[in-house]
Structure 1
Amino acid sequence: MQSPLFHHGEQQSQERYAIQNPQLLRVALAGNDDVLARKGAMVAFQGMVDFDGEYQTGRQRRAEGNTGEGLSLMRCSGQGTVYLANLAQYVHLVDVDHEGITVDSSYVLALDSALHTEVIAVDSQYGISGSGKYQLNITGQGKVALMTSGRPLMMRVTPESYVNVDADAIVAWSTPLRVQMQAQTHSSSALRRRGNTGEGWELSFLGQGFALVQPSEVMPPQNAQLGEGLRGQFGNNGQNQNNAWS
């Protein structure tokens, strides 16, 4: 059998994490280095690999139930190769250092099991009840695989140049950045999409670091619910941070 499809064969790599193609992640397991992946994200595997639902502490379950932010993960262990993907979104690898990274959990595909996650809140500078959003803070030393709908934009934030990002387009940012949630209007209409601009809340980043933006405000869909199937794959469009949820 012959076909151009055979040009899309496996990419050989000595790295534990490797981008098989822009929308597919290859993870090599050596028997003592478990990887946590988004539930349902496995599309293929080779070797002796086990998949188990990852245990959530009571605090993690309460945080997810109250904020909609959290990770439903499976533990990949054993020896072999696992291929991970989600809705053909673009995959990007990030090295997490001591500063940490703050992400919308909807865009996390996989991470090292040694990394620590915690739900934190970003409060609106206007103090409007219910307008605060939640994000996931990832700390420790290791790698995390993020997803974006389309090719992303990495924006540098410096003390001389702060950055504003639509709250529906932000994917991740450097944890040390100062974050404010705001709208372009000071009127009561700030609670809903404004007039004919179609714009809503935005996040303002100050300090030294980066903000990762995707060219889409559609995926995950607004007001999606956590759950199984498509809803679980799309995730929840909750965001935001700076204070640990408890």
Structure 2
Amino acid sequence: MAQKEYTLNELIQESAENPNENDFFELEKPAMLEVNLKNQKILAKAGSMVAYIGNIDFKREGLLSKGLGGLLKKAISGEGTSLMHATGTGKLYLADEGKKVKIIKLQNEAVFVNGNDVLALEENIKNEIKMLKSIAGMMSGGLFQVKLSGSGYIAITTHGEPILLRVTGNQAVYTDPNATVAWSENLTPNIKTNLTFGSFIGRGSGESFQLEFFGEGWVLVQPYEEVKYAAKS
């Protein structure tokens, strides 16, 4: 087996973007989204731009704006994370703390996504703020998520490679809220408490209650507990 040289040319060849790929949303690297704008506008998580080529303008959403920006203000650590508009022509590169990027092309469909895991979406994708009210008394501010619907591209992020679990009429799925990334439109999670287990683990969030999914659909779970909420004492 030939010894790897680790030369500068190897770095250039391995890391260079592929000029032959020009889809609107494309996965340039596992943790980097490339958006090919042609006099178009998208919405992206504020602060996710790492580079761009061409003529692209950015406008940050106000913290109290409606839609997804309002969700992100409330849902992500309570610190007011918001969205930004990116408009123009060129190549835009987006990333979020090294998390893996997953591209989904909705075709008159809908999906629920944890607010913190939304990276980008086409301007025409409808977004609605939803809250699991049954959790409001257990988690600070409740649990918010976004319903993304319509036709077009969205990009979400996960810590590591996620697993998709099928929910059937004969088999419910239970997940840690902090590890739950997304789920299908027709599912509505309930809350299941397990205070004894939570006390044994010794954590203030997560294991003391789980999301309980019944019906027909799927749930996407990441191998990481992304704690964004503080449990009420």
TM-score range (shorter-chain normalised) is 0.7 to 0.9
CA distance in structure 2 between the aligned counterparts of 1:184 and 1:13, rounded to whole angstroms:
49
CA distance in structure 2 between the aligned counterparts of 1:64 and 1:197, rounded to whole angstroms:
29
Residue 44 of structure 2 corresponds to which residue in structure 1? 37
Q: Verify the 8 A CA contact 1:123 1:181 in the aligned structure 2.
A: no
Q: Verify the 8 A CA contact 1:166 1:200 in the aligned structure 2.
A: no
Q: Verify the 8 A CA contact 2:75 2:115 in the aligned structure 1.
A: no
Residue 168 of structure 1 corresponds to which residue in structure 2? 178
Residue 204 of structure 2 corresponds to residue 194 of structure 1: no
1:21 to 3, 25, 29: 29
Residue 5 of structure 1 corresponds to which residue in structure 2? 11
For normalisation by structure 1, the TM-score amounts to 0.77
CA distance in structure 2 between the aligned counterparts of 1:135 and 1:72, rounded to whole angstroms:
14
1:135 to 115, 138, 145: 145
What is the CA-CA distance between 1:96 and the residue it aligns to? Answer: 2.7
Equivalent pairs: percent with the same residue? 30
Aligned residues: CA RMSD: 2.8
Q: Give the 3 Å change call, closer, same or farther, for CA 76–215 of structure 1 in structure 2.
A: same
Residue 89 of structure 1 corresponds to which residue in structure 2? 99
What is the CA-CA distance between 1:175 and the residue it aligns to? Answer: 2.0
Residue 100 of structure 1 corresponds to which residue in structure 2? 110
Structure 2, unpaired ranges of 5+: 1-6
Structure holding more strand per residue: 2
What is the CA-CA distance between 1:28 and the residue it aligns to? Answer: 0.1
Q: List aligned pairs for 1:155-234, cutoff 5 A.
A: 155-185=165-195, 193-196=198-201, 198=203, 199-217=207-225, 219=226, 221-223=227-229
Structure 1, unpaired ranges of 5+: 225-236, 238-246
Greater shift, 114-123 or 165-174, is seen at 114-123
What is the CA-CA distance between 1:223 and the residue it aligns to? Answer: 3.5
Q: Verify the 8 A CA contact 1:71 1:105 in the aligned structure 2.
A: no
What number of residue pairs does the alignment pair up?
Answer: 215
1:52 to 46, 49, 59: 59
SS of match in other structure, 1:216: coil
Q: Give the 3 Å change call, closer, same or farther, for CA 5–58 of structure 1 in structure 2.
A: closer
What is the CA-CA distance between 1:161 and the residue it aligns to? Answer: 2.1
CA distance in structure 1 between the aligned counterparts of 2:150 and 2:60, rounded to whole angstroms:
22
- State the structure with bigger RCO (CA 8 A, min sep 6), 1 or 2: 1
Q: Give the 3 Å change call, closer, same or farther, for CA 96–55 of structure 1 in structure 2.
A: farther
What is the CA-CA distance between 1:35 and the residue it aligns to? Answer: 1.1
